Amino acid sequence: MRRNPILQTISWALYAIALFLIYHLLVKPAFLDLTWIALLIFLPLLAFCYFVVHPSERRQVLVFSIGFLLLDRALTRVDVKATAALLIGGAIAVIVIALLVKWYGRLNWRAVGSLVLIALLANVTFNRDTLTALSHFTVKYESDRLYNGDWVDYFPITLHDVNGDGKMEIITYGNAEELPLPEEIEKPETEEEKKAMAEKLRHLQAEPVSVYVLTWKDGQMVRMPNDQIPADTMEIIKEKLPTDYPGFPYYTMKDGQLVPNVQRQPYAEGMLQIGTAPYRAFMLDMENIANLLAENEGSMDLRQTLGSKYTDLHIKDGMLTGNYDGKPFGGTTKATKLMTTMMLPDGREGLVVMGEHLSVLSVEPDGTLTESYTLTRKQAELATGEFIPADIDNDKVDELLVAGKPSYILKPKPDGTWEILWASGDRDKSFRFSNFATIGNNEKPEIIAKAKSWVSTTETRYLAGYDYTPEGLKQNWRIYLPLINVQIGDIDGDKKNEIVANMYNTHRILVFKQHNIPVFGLTIALFVGLLGYGVVRRFRHA
């Protein structure tokens, strides 16, 4: 009896969908996390899958599977900007693989059509770069490229409720609206063209850069005009955004522009003078510090608000002044940077500052300052570290998440010392804390950190959520993407926090929303069901 052609077409299409999900949500994450262990697991599985298929259908299934994965990969890799070139490249991939599958696999055109259709749909309906996040998150929003310049690999991101509507706005820097995309430069051929190109590239020009405030409106993120943001709110926004981007101090932000502090030729010539090179770099630092002092009217650092009780903070002329719980305080300090605040065992809110070392300061009733806790450079990596207060054990006292090499969870003890609750491995240079917040429907905050895969020796970091336990960190989820600038907040106003991040040198902002669908478990069930169907079919037609 001949099989129903419609049912046969649907069967091939369903198999292609199952293959797509199993490969991207099960196989790829397994190899990213387990590498050679995953290979040892999947080789016997592949052998079993090969022999479970009836010999009369083995070639068809094998060629269909390989052809589908190859076409899916080929369509994903068609990376051209022109629409015509994109269509031509995609059409060539479809025609070549379809003909190969038809000829070598001896498949009918219905099966080939199912293969092509599902591969095309998978490439136009899924964000392929973020597909590996689907196990726990959906991509709620992805921005266009916000920066069209050449100098900066990534800008900082922060969140702030700019208009008081209960939603967090995404704040970063960009110039996509101010600076058009650079024209494609043809390769110079003649000697005159090469000299003209070299002269054009030799001199660095200032680039326009603006604060970009993105707000959720009518189901999408839109830019809020800067002239509609009150001046005092804009000052708070700028306080949250650091001005030392990668490349500092070779260019700095000034009057809405990235201004180069050096030029290529004199800087290169100066750095080749080994004896004076360190002093030239030191002078650049001093120049930028002078500019910072001038911009802040003599203050090394200042904050209008910090934490729940600190306001009007200034570090100026070796003095730290401000208000704590509405009352003025002040004292001498060697600190140069205001970091954050944290709740201390005595119930006070401590002020975390950075100078020669990291200090947690407490304000006494008479308005003086006391150094309650200290973290020296011998104890932790301070220069490039990040410090995140987090009440991980829910005792109303903040622990300090130290993101460095290694990373630590430090608990302040009443006697002024730190207790190490957890530390990353001595050889693990990838683990780094990013945040501490609730995500999605979870009522309990969790530790957000970037960590490499369990087995691989590569330093690529993947974002993951953890709970602290006395036995260590327990992983709740993982996104297999190298995300940076991770922020947590309610972007769309549904009272559930989303993850905001970007990837290195893309200048695109991603918003991830957690879902409660057990995608990983369903994918495993789909894989097991597919194997079971193959076994039953094999024995029925043996």
Per-residue pLDDT of the chain (542 residues; tens, 9 = 90+): 356 778 888 889 999 999 999 998 888 888 888 777 778 888 888 888 888 887 888 899 899 999 999 999 888 887 656 677 778 888 898 999 999 999 988 888 999 999 999 999 988 877 777 788 888 999 999 998 899 887 788 888 999 999 888 899 999 999 888 887 666 666 777 787 777 777 777 777 788 888 999 999 888 899 999 988 998 888 888 888 865 554 555 777 777 788 888 887 787 788 788 788 888 888 887 887 787 788 788 888 889 899 999 999 999 999 999 999 999 999 999 999 999 999 999 999 999 999 989 999 999 999 999 999 999 998 888 888 899 999 999 899 999 999 988 899 999 999 999 999 999 987 778 899 999 999 988 889 999 999 888 776 677 889 999 999 988 899 999 998 889 899 999 999 899 999 999 988 888 999 999 998 999 889 999 988 888 888 887 777 65
| Residue 184 exposure: Cα atoms within 13 Å on the Cβ side | 4
Rg (CA), the chain: 28
In eight-state DSSP terms, residue 270 is H
Q: Are 502 and 171 in contact (CB under 8 A)?
A: no
Cis amide leading into 249 (omega within 30): yes
CA-wise closest residue to 170 among 494, 482, 485, 443: 485
CA distance 199 to 421: 57
CA distance 291 to 229: 26
Give the containing element (helix H, strand E) for 227. Answer: none
CA-wise closest residue to 127 among 15, 12, 24, 23: 24
| Residue 356 exposure: Cα atoms within 13 Å on the Cβ side | 2
Residue 216, both tokens: 């959720």
Could you count the other beta carbons within 10 Å of the beta carbon of residue 212? 23
* Residue 262 buriedness (CB in 10 A; 0-12 / 13-18 / 19+): middle
CA-wise closest residue to 232 among 304, 316, 312, 294: 304
In eight-state DSSP terms, residue 440 is B
Q: Are 329 and 316 in contact (CB under 8 A)?
A: no
CATH 2.40.128 domain residues, the chain: 300-426
Strand locations in 232-348, DSSP E? 251-254, 257-260, 299-306, 310-316, 319-324, 327-332, 337-343
Given the candidates 1.10.8, 2.40.128, 2.30.30, 2.60.40, the CATH classification of the domain at 300-426 is: 2.40.128
